Amino acid sequence: MYKFKISAPGRVFLCGERSENVKKMCVAASLNMRTKLAFTSLSPRAMSTDIIKFEFSTIALHVKISLDTFYENFLDCKLTGNRLHEEIKEFIDLSSEEIIGTYDPNNHEHQFALQTFLYLLIIIGNREKIRINSSFVVKLSTELAIGEGLGSSTSFVVCLTACFLRWSLLQRGIIVYNFGEQELLKICDHAHLCERIIFGSTFLIDTVVSVYGSIAAFQGNIMLHTCSSLPSMKILLVSSNIKQRTITQAVIDETKKMRSFVEPIMNSTNIMSLISIRVFKEIKKYMCNLKITDSRDLSHLIPLDSCKMISKLIHMNQGLLCALGMSHPSLDFVCAIARKFSLAGKIAGSKGGFAFIFLLPNNTNNHISQISNELKRHNFHAVVTSLCGQRSGVRVE
């Protein structure tokens, strides 16, 4: 009956760093490496036994649950929040024979993915009065490295949330190809609550960037600035070859002891974050004045001086993070290679798995290839991608 596709972006940090231990300003941008979802609902009785089919190919998860089993456990379920989460976990634990496919109860990625899928289906299904009376299929994949601090879990949650919301709209005869402000707000609210319940994440900045795209600046969970509809800006995303999962407790303890030293550094990151927002707003104003209405790539039209200022701020920010013990020698080496080519690099996310190198509008393909080859010589894999751009948030494809 219905068939559509949804996608949502990842995220990188341009200035500052999102951390429960660092209560200062942070600026993040949408990353054009996306989680992609395909939804198909079938006509009633199109199959001999109606099923719910959920696939997340990136983690090799393929699951089928009969509609009857779903009805028996959740048809009249009015639970929400943590109580619903516990009910879902109990259902999954006790229904191993009813969950057909590759689900591995010892695989944390499988656990979180299936819990998220069922949680959002039940919550949004109840609130938006979705009629689940026939088989449907949800297939996901992602271009993002999972668990490496690029916003992969948020992108996954936002995709599913947008999927179920659009399904509910279609059932009411409302066809949207671009989510409006009301729909985006619903997606943001549902996705953020789901992340808090399932993943234990309290950071709103990731959700806002994945839903709305472009640039957002937060202090804690307070949104200070946004800058939407920016042109795409090329970067090299570089795998650091490390598994630095989080800031270590030793670093946190040392930071607390050196508060008088750390506070001025963090105040400096705040200033740089504010300057970066001002530069992005100047870029937006400049591009708006060009009055170009088509959707082609406009990155080459961004003022070079503005991009050089962003590059300088990124370089300075990485230096401050390094001083705070929030970097890693491998990341520092990637950034040193960037400086060799008169560019700037920075840690991309809080887990240290990736760095990014901010490219300038006048960097030719040959120049980018030289940088990539230099990184490759030192066993760093790099891909060309972009930040921001038109329709850079969650979208119907």
State the average pLDDT for the chain: 90
Instruction: Mark whether 33 and 122 lie in a shared domain.
Output: yes
Residue 392: inside a domain: no
pLDDT in tens, 53-70: 999 999 999 999 999 999
Instruction: Mark whether 235 and 103 lie in a shared domain.
Output: no
The identity of residue 2, as a single letter, is Y
Instruction: Mark whether 99 and 209 lie in a shared domain.
Output: yes
Residue 197: inside a domain: yes
Instruction: Mark whether 188 and 255 lie in a shared domain.
Output: no
Instruction: Mark whether 215 and 293 lie in a shared domain.
Output: no
Instruction: Mark whether 274 and 140 lie in a shared domain.
Output: no
Instruction: Mark whether 302 and 346 lie in a shared domain.
Output: yes
* Among the listed residues 154, 67, 166, the one whose alpha carbon sits nearest the alpha carbon of residue 112: 154
- Number of structural domains, the chain? 2
Contact 116, 160 (CB under 8 A): yes
Over residues 16-36, the mean pLDDT reads 82
pLDDT number for residue 19:
62
**Domain end (from 187, 219, 251):** 219
- Give 115-160 as a DSSP string: HHHHHHHHHHHHHTT----S-EEEEEEESSPTTSSSSHHHHHHHHH
With cut-offs at 50, 70 and 90, classify the pLDDT of residue 286.
Answer: very high
Residue 234: inside a domain: yes
224-228 long-range contacts, Cβ below 8 Å, gap at least 24? 224/25, 225/277, 227/277, 227/280, 227/281, 227/284, 228/284
* Rounded Cα gap, residues 291 and 306, in angstroms: 19
- Range of weakest confidence among 6-10, 98-102, 167-171, 348-352: 348-352
pLDDT number for residue 337:
97
pLDDT number for residue 170:
97
pLDDT number for residue 290:
86
**Domain end (from 219, 242, 275):** 219
Over residues 354-373, the mean pLDDT reads 96
Instruction: Mark whether 136 and 250 lie in a shared domain.
Output: no
**Domain end (from 219, 243, 277):** 219
Instruction: Mark whether 68 and 205 lie in a shared domain.
Output: yes
What 3-state DSSP class applies to 35? strand
Question: What residues make up the domain containing 94?
Answer: 2-219
Residue 7: inside a domain: yes
Residue 324: inside a domain: yes
195-199 long-range contacts, Cβ below 8 Å, gap at least 24? 195/153, 195/154, 195/157, 197/81, 197/82, 197/84, 197/85, 197/119, 198/85, 198/112, 198/115, 198/116, 198/119, 198/157, 199/112, 199/153, 199/157
With cut-offs at 50, 70 and 90, classify the pLDDT of residue 47.
Answer: confident
The CA-atom distances, in angstroms, between 1 and each of 39, 46, 126 are: 11, 10, 20
Instruction: Mark whether 264 and 197 lie in a shared domain.
Output: no
pLDDT in tens, 69-109: 999 999 889 999 999 999 999 999 998 889 999 999 999 99
* Among the listed residues 367, 389, 369, 365, the one whose alpha carbon sits nearest the alpha carbon of residue 377: 369
Residue 260: inside a domain: yes
Instruction: Mark whether 169 and 268 lie in a shared domain.
Output: no
Instruction: Mark whether 166 and 256 lie in a shared domain.
Output: no
- Give 344-385 as a DSSP string: EEEE-STT-SEEEEEPPTT--HHHHHHHHHHHHHTT--EEEE
Residue 354: inside a domain: yes
pLDDT in tens, 109-147: 999 999 999 999 999 999 999 999 999 999 999 999 998
Residue 37: inside a domain: yes
Cβ atoms within 10 A of the Cβ of 146, count? Answer: 17
Find the CATH number of the domain harbouring 264: 3.30.70.890
| CA dihedral sign, ordered 339, 341, 344, 350 | negative
